Amino acid sequence: QNMNIQVEDIRIRAILATYRKRVPVTEGYVEVKDEGTWKQICDKHWTMKNSRVVCGMFGFPSERKYNTNVYKMFASRRKQHYWAYSMDCSGNEAHISSCKLGNHLTGTGKNSSCDNGMPAVVSCVPGRAFAPSSHSGFRKAFRQEQPLVRLKGGANTGEGRVEVLKNGEWGTVCDDNWNLVSASVVCRELGFGSAKEAITGARLGQGMGPIHLNEIDCTGFEKSVTDCKFNTESQGCNHEEDAAVRCNVPAMGFQNQLRLSGGRNPYEGRVEVLAERNGTLRWGTVCSHNWGTVEAMVVCRQLGLGFASHAFQETWYWHGDVSADDVVMSGVKCSGTEMSLSHCRHDGPHVSCPRGGGRFGAGVSCSETAPDLVLNAELVEQTAYLEDRPMFLLQCALEENCLASSAHNTSLTSGYRRLLRFSSQIHNNGQSDFRPKNGRHAWVWHDCHRHYHSMEVFTHYDLLNLNGTKVAEGHKASFCLEDTECEADVQKQYECANFGEQGITVGCWDVYRHDIDCQWIDITDVPPGDYLFQVVINPNYEVAESDYSNNVMKCRSRYDGQRIWMYNCHIGGSFSEETEQKFDHFRGLTNNNVSAR
């Protein structure tokens, strides 16, 4: 008595014809594999609590009642093979192995009987993103109304760092007492099943901003993690202790519609998709025209291989399957959140691909980890100032296109340019180093900075009016990437001097100080007014990152013709959508002081 359940495997087997055709399987017999054979479970002691646990394991947030009469009829026609025990779950377990073993059934030898009973059935309710629809077995992903919880920085669907919305600002959760029960509340709240893993120690990357919750203690039946008991005091917590989860998600079979072929290892290769042509399913390639990192991310996620590290537009060096050379998918454009490449926008049956497939088929390489760059918004706010700089000191910058085009008509001896200067401190909060896309042979020598730049367009600096139109020409800044400083226990690896290796190590940051050339926007031609100042890092998604939503930094700024105020500087995605919309459309300051955050 009171032993935990130990079985080799468990499944939900669809019985009724309507459920047998559907993906994912949401209703059927609960069967356990015991001594190598699949057995049904007698429903005499079966409870909704048991159903809740089984549904959770298969990626479904909740269970529902089903039509017992149909199953009674079905059971009477077949001989069943019953498991010798019943299950006794309390309903908040993440897996049946945590449930207790219930009563032993009557019966002799190997044949247990289930007097007047029938096999236990579960019927699960899928999250809205996984709800089967009749034609394709899938409905497009939806946007939830103002969610209170989100997952960030995870490679696969249903995993990531847990972030909670409080007072309009997103923050993280400290991992003290973080366990499967609390993690399962988060997963179910987001439309997944129970938690497969409660991850501690910021293993899915560090967050930014406040740490909202600590010492979370859930019963497992809360509707939201914000209803659990917790401590709002997070003294002693830092972002190195950010909690994360991996949730059970329904088996959608997406990974079977795609394969990588010809690579040197299972993580890379030419992308081949299964498509219907003239009524038969066959493998073919994807047109590589406009194929980029965002599309590659969807492929790697669909195959469960983590993040994309590179997207390839030529794959002649990977010998794929010759019978799959024909292009069967073209015009692919993904937003990045899709679970399958077929959910991205694409041309449909009328494929158009001028270069053809074969050697020009799209390819990817995947990696379990990725970097995540974030700009320090506070430092921008603290270091911004105006400088009227004489033209004779700006020759180098002019040649490097760091000034507005009107600078070409400015007198070299008496003219000056008005520059909005600021410091950029760019942190790598991800799980792997940020490395430039180009190898050394393609780096460009920059005379102003006296070193090589490995990324020709690393950041965009722009001043926009409140309608979002550019008012200053801004510019695309190129960078040499190096570790300027690191957290206490991290070693610097990259430096710009002497044609050194370039990159930003995890836990380090690269500082471009306000006093170096091109670290500015030329606002000589800008009239006084209220503006938005915006910096975008890695704007062309040249290098793969685990989260692009935090690559934008925005500030409100007011320019009176002589002075500039910067206020409310923040990273994209750090506030609720409501607050973000107010920010973009807010007219005028309430007073002349820079508002303190």
Rounded Cα distance between 364 and 260, Å, is 8
Rounded Cα distance between 253 and 340, Å, is 10
The residue type of 583 is: F
| Torsion angle in degrees (nearest 10) through CA of 343, 347, 350, 356 | -110
From residue 222, how far is each of 149, 182, 190, 217, 276 by CA, in Å? Answer: 14, 9, 13, 11, 44
Q: Which helix (H) or strand (E) holds 377?
A: helix 377-383
Check residue 111 and give its pLDDT.
Answer: 59
Rounded Cα distance between 79 and 90, Å, is 30
Check residue 591 and give its pLDDT.
Answer: 34
CB 424 within 8 A of CB 383: no
Check residue 192 and give its pLDDT.
Answer: 96
CB 5 within 8 A of CB 81: no
Please give the average pLDDT of every successive group of 10 residues along the chain, which has 597 residues.
77 89 90 90 91 95 91 83 88 90 68 79 92 51 68 92 92 93 95 95 89 92 91 81 95 91 92 87 91 95 94 85 86 92 90 83 94 94 94 87 88 90 93 86 76 81 90 79 90 87 92 88 94 92 91 94 92 82 53 35
| Torsion angle in degrees (nearest 10) through CA of 507, 429, 463, 566 | -70
280-286 vs 327-329, strand pairing mode: parallel
Rounded Cα distance between 359 and 285, Å, is 10
DSSP 414: T
Check residue 136 and give its pLDDT.
Answer: 43
Check residue 596 and give its pLDDT.
Answer: 34
Check residue 2 and give its pLDDT.
Answer: 61
Domains in the chain with CATH codes: 7-127 (3.10.250.10), 149-248 (3.10.250.10), 255-367 (3.10.250.10), 373-585 (no CATH)
Q: Which helix (H) or strand (E) holds 451?
A: strand 451-453
Check residue 30 and give its pLDDT.
Answer: 94
Check residue 106 and give its pLDDT.
Answer: 67
Tokens coding 203: 């293993």
Check residue 584 and give its pLDDT.
Answer: 62
Check residue 129 and give its pLDDT.
Answer: 86
297-301: long-range contacts, CB 8 A cutoff, minimum separation 24 = 297/334, 297/336, 297/544, 298/334, 298/336, 298/338, 298/339, 298/340, 298/341, 298/344, 299/258, 299/260, 299/271, 299/341, 299/364, 299/366, 300/155, 300/364, 300/366, 300/367, 301/155, 301/156, 301/157, 301/339
Rounded Cα distance between 564 and 543, Å, is 33
The residue type of 270 is: R
Check residue 138 and give its pLDDT.
Answer: 44
Cβ count within 10 A of residue 34 = 16
Q: How many residues does the chain have?
A: 597
| pTM for this entry | 0.86
CB 148 within 8 A of CB 165: yes
- Edge to edge, the sheet with strand 508-512 lists 373-375, 424-428, 508-512, 485-486
In the three-class reduction of DSSP (H, G, I as helix; E, B as strand; rest coil), residue 313 is classed as coil
Which residues, at least 6 apart from 323, have a Cβ–Cβ distance to it below 8 Å?
Answer: 283
Check residue 108 and give its pLDDT.
Answer: 47
